[in-house]
Structures are given as structure tokens and as C-alpha cells.
Amino acid sequence: MHDQQFVRDVIQSAWDACITSDYLTCRINSERSLQASFWAQLNERLLPKESWLMFIEPGLKLKRHGKVFPDIVVCDTAEETVVAVIELKFQPRIKGKWKKDIETLDRIHADRESLFFKNVRHDREGESPEFPLADDTLFVWAGIHLPLGKDLKSLIGDSQWIGNFIELHHPTEKRAKNSNT
């Protein structure tokens, strides 16, 4: 079985590096660039690289909950399981809008028994493996936003996946309006 603490540490380290090396140097200016930065930081830390596969915005048709597009999905290729599902939010001038993202994670968790990810667009030889969710798949919400005032765990309520939930924040400050505009 994969080492969940390793995956937690990699996610935290990648987030910290994403903020310090890209956001604080003004290289992140949209949710897409946050996605790219976070993916790159994760990719750099997941060694050996051949043991990991990441999907960006895979479309998932859920049995009971329609279609969802999580931002990043991390798979352990040795175990052939999904080890993390990540939702990102870039809203530096407002409080992070988390509700839709948490609902997406909750829907994925609810349909976890029938859900798998597959790299159907890769042209390598042979059949691509299917990656079901591991029992300890991590569900991650990470955002750059004005302070929320509460942690998301307290806002989610009683959820079966809360023990596998990670929230990462980079709170921003409200800027004074420019008097010249």
C-alpha cells in the first residue's frame, strides 16, 4: 500500500513551493496558472516519476451525481490506485468560494466504489490501467483567497471523508482602492 504520509507531505511541500516560487513572484495570475504551477511542483517531488501519474481536469461521469471535473488527480501506478483528488481555487480579492469544490469532492467520495480514472488519450502499447480510488485517497482543497474566517472542515459538517481531507490556504490581503482609477 502507498505511504499516505508521503503523499500528504508531497502535497504540502508542493503547495508551499507553488506559493513562494510562483505566486509571491507574480507568476500566478489565474486558476489555470495555479493549476500549472501546482502540477509542476507535485511532478518535481513525486519520485521516481514512473511510479506516479497525474490527470488534469479529467471528466468523470458519476453514477448518481452527474459529471465532474476535479482539477488534479494523482495516481500511484505501482498500486494502480488514486491517492489524491485536488480542487484548486484562485480568488485573491475575495473569500474563496469553496462550496462547489467541496460538493465535487463529496460526489466523488460518494461514488468511489464505481469510479476509476483511465488515461485513454495516451498512445502507448497495451491497455491503459484503470485507477480506482484507494481506501485512503486524500481529498484536497487548496486556495489563494481573502481569509475565510473558519477552516473548511468546520464548514463541511459531518462527512465520511473528513479524515482524508486536506485544506491548504494562502490568505491574501484586501487592497485599498487606487484613487487614480
Q: Is the pLDDT of residue 62 over 60?
A: yes
First to last CA, the chain: 57
Question: Which of these ranges, 83-87, 93-97, 101-105, 176-180, has the smallest mean pLDDT?
Answer: 176-180
Q: Is 39 among the domain residues? A: yes
State pLDDT tens for residues 21-59: 999 999 999 999 999 999 999 999 998 888 899 999 988
Per-residue CA distances from 134 to 12, 79, 81, 84, 117 (Å): 20, 9, 5, 9, 12
Q: What is the CATH number of the domain that holds 92?
A: 3.40.1350
- pLDDT above 90 covers a percentage of the chain that reads 54
Q: Is 181 among the domain residues? A: no
**The whole model's pTM is what?**
0.90
Q: Is 178 among the domain residues? A: no
Q: Is 179 among the domain residues? A: no
Q: Is 61 among the domain residues? A: yes
- Count of domains in the chain? 1
Q: Is 124 among the domain residues? A: no
Per-residue pLDDT, 64: 76
Q: Is the pLDDT of residue 76 over 60?
A: yes
Q: Is the pLDDT of residue 180 over 60?
A: no
Print the domain residue range for 137.
4-118+129-171
